[in-house]
Structure 1
């Protein structure tokens, strides 16, 4: 962490984050790749995975019945312990732990996150932190390791399906001493610097030009999937999906690195969607770019700390620059 001199370029930050982080071979793959390429990422935990299926009634989402959710819970006691082991491994690897909340109530379900009030988000976060701290007692688990970190390390996250308004969500984040969010699809095209809304730094999911698609695209793996084939599991499309992901990420990176140096948000899941079409190209992007000079693959808290260290006038010369990766020419 150093202060920029006048005329000095910022590092090109890349912010890899993973929604949900359930146990999978892809989690191993990113942990190993990050270690090899000196990268740090943000693991956004789903509260459901702290509860066994038998104890799902211990969670109650806003205006939902106890034990109701849109995703599966943590499975057996053995599976919950394995989840804790992976979370610890991630923490000890130097990565950031954030939240992906709990029930995953998206549009199409009864009372989805887009309709929640500040009190609803506050309730959901209270539920998340209770599951995180009390998972042993709630599941009557006496074996395996303790969770290696506490709620105080969780400073931000991403809501389910990018839902929830800033006016409702951000006050709840503040009540829980959180400082950042990466839930909003960008309000304007391109890659640009994060902004502070009240006490919360907002890192939007980029909406950029995608050369392979020849169209504007929200740069989230699920959204790529919908754009390519409507979100259908067609293995024949896997190679094309990989080319879309690689081509879009490379374009975003080149424009930012050569232009405004805005932090690059890479929003991803560990899911094996469409024959695991998304994770291998994202792993290759991590391995290729994080090893480059002037590139720092960091966490949201890292970037906030770096920005707050800078001379405001020097930093403003960069943060005021126009978005890049807006279209085929800029």
Structure 2
């Protein structure tokens, strides 16, 4: 990766929103939630009439998550691997721009599952910001701010809907500190543990913290749901991993500057990095995230010249599609695409993601899955098969074709 691309990696997510947390304490409370035609209405209840409220009722155990694929099976000898594409969203807060519901609808139309890295602070009213004690930062501090009450309610609504429609809820943590002495890059494993526990608490106690006891719970047990994360600005992974491993998490999506090859494990977790992909018109690659394409187009400005938007939209779309085609036609390495619910440069990066989604979904061997679903597939594969897949370099097709390459 060139120096220009490396510089764009360092600025990844500087305009990003944070993410989520875990949670769940035992409770014997039960509740009845509405159903419609045997299936919960969007943003309402899980597809069961009896649920177990957890703690103060902010979350609930509603049973098996709906709309999940069949259990994965190992590849057969000589079988071509599927092309996995994972769309993920850092922050996953709805601020009234309609982007969260827009992509939930697009996912439904194209049979896609996604991962939403929700910020714990996005469920905390600003009047309660002193509840947050970020490592190496003042009490209540946050580099992403706090949502209005209306936007907290919308975020709750669409987080419920996302889970009920089969998507994964992950965490992007809380305050999104990317620079200075308080940066997440400097946090110790113990400080990451504190950040995680606070993020869990904000999700598990939003009813207590907001006073909104008349709203429906989030329909999942967060301790069981949360199995992976992406750190702010892709920083701090080395010290996060020991804590994530202790918690039993299954993957981390925080590595910067990954390559389009099959993944490995670090500290017992699958390491699923944002990847360098072709950047049309340039000799260097760009990271597979909206903000990094922006950084190379408008030099970190989120409002570049309007006249450039059509060309930049096409360049962003073509970059993602080039990354897809390179993997799809060669080593079948998974493609990881990171996004934010932002209207940077007139929303062109949202349009680019939609263009890619609609352009690839109808291929029978393409699987649009969440990170959790992808690691479910990885975990049932023969380790020797995965090791052989990892011998294929970026853009390298298997010698003799897949039938020969994976026959033995």
Query: Which TM-score band applies after superposition, normalised by the shorter structure?
Result: over 0.9
How far did residue 140 of structure 1 move?
Answer: 2.0
- The separation in 2 between residues aligned to 1:207 and 1:299, in whole angstroms, is 20
- The match for 2:98 is 25
Query: Contact 2:90 / 2:117 at 8 angstroms: preserved in 1?
Result: yes
Once the two structures are overlaid, the 10-residue window that deviates more, 285-294 or 232-241, is 232-241
- The match for 2:42 is none
- The match for 1:172 is 243
Taking only aligned residues, the RMSD between alpha carbons, in angstroms, comes to 1.5
How far did residue 124 of structure 1 move?
Answer: 0.7
Match of 1:201 among 264, 270, 280: 270
- The match for 2:233 is 161
Query: Contact 1:220 / 1:266 at 8 angstroms: preserved in 2?
Result: yes
What are the within-5 Å matches in structure 2 for residues 275-286 of structure 1? 275-286=346-357
Query: Contact 1:57 / 1:66 at 8 angstroms: preserved in 2?
Result: yes
Match of 1:91 among 163, 168, 171: 163
- The separation in 1 between residues aligned to 2:285 and 2:269, in whole angstroms, is 27
- The separation in 2 between residues aligned to 1:258 and 1:43, in whole angstroms, is 28
Query: Contact 2:245 / 2:269 at 8 angstroms: preserved in 1?
Result: yes
Alpha-carbon deviations, 1:263-322, whole Å to 9, x = none?
Answer: 100111111111111001101211221221200001111111111212222333222211
How far did residue 110 of structure 1 move?
Answer: 4.3
- The separation in 2 between residues aligned to 1:213 and 1:32, in whole angstroms, is 34
Change (3 A) 1:15 1:280: same
Once the two structures are overlaid, the 10-residue window that deviates more, 118-127 or 21-30, is 21-30
- If you compute each CA radius of gyration, which structure gives the higher value, 1 or 2? 2
Structure 1 SS opposite 2:254: coil
- The match for 1:112 is 183
What are the within-5 Å matches in structure 2 for residues 231-246 of structure 1? 231-232=300-301, 233-234=303-304, 235-246=306-317
Matched, 1:55 2:124: no
Q: Which runs of 4+ in 1 moved over 6 A?
A: none
5+ long unaligned stretches in structure 2? 1-71, 397-408
Match of 2:115 among 36, 42, 53: 42
Once the two structures are overlaid, the 10-residue window that deviates more, 176-185 or 235-244, is 235-244
Normalising by structure 1, we get a TM-score of 0.93
- The separation in 1 between residues aligned to 2:102 and 2:209, in whole angstroms, is 31
Alpha-carbon deviations, 1:69-110, whole Å to 9, x = none?
Answer: 00121222x432221111000101100110011000012x44
- The match for 1:324 is 395
- The separation in 1 between residues aligned to 2:263 and 2:386, in whole angstroms, is 12
- The separation in 2 between residues aligned to 1:173 and 1:313, in whole angstroms, is 26
- The separation in 2 between residues aligned to 1:101 and 1:301, in whole angstroms, is 18
Matched, 1:136 2:207: yes
- The match for 1:5 is 76
- The separation in 2 between residues aligned to 1:194 and 1:41, in whole angstroms, is 19
Query: Contact 2:237 / 2:254 at 8 angstroms: preserved in 1?
Result: no
Query: Contact 2:317 / 2:353 at 8 angstroms: preserved in 1?
Result: yes
Change (3 A) 1:145 1:212: farther
- The match for 1:328 is none
Query: Contact 1:13 / 1:298 at 8 angstroms: preserved in 2?
Result: yes
What are the within-5 Å matches in structure 2 for residues 247-266 of structure 1? 247-266=318-337
Query: Contact 2:85 / 2:366 at 8 angstroms: preserved in 1?
Result: yes
Once the two structures are overlaid, the 10-residue window that deviates more, 62-71 or 91-100, is 62-71
Structure 2 SS opposite 1:278: helix
- The separation in 1 between residues aligned to 2:228 and 2:354, in whole angstroms, is 23
Structure 1 SS opposite 2:193: helix
Query: Contact 1:11 / 1:295 at 8 angstroms: preserved in 2?
Result: yes
- The match for 1:306 is 377
- Provide the aligned length of Structure 1 versus Structure 2: 320
Structure 2 SS opposite 1:19: strand
How far did residue 208 of structure 1 move?
Answer: 2.7
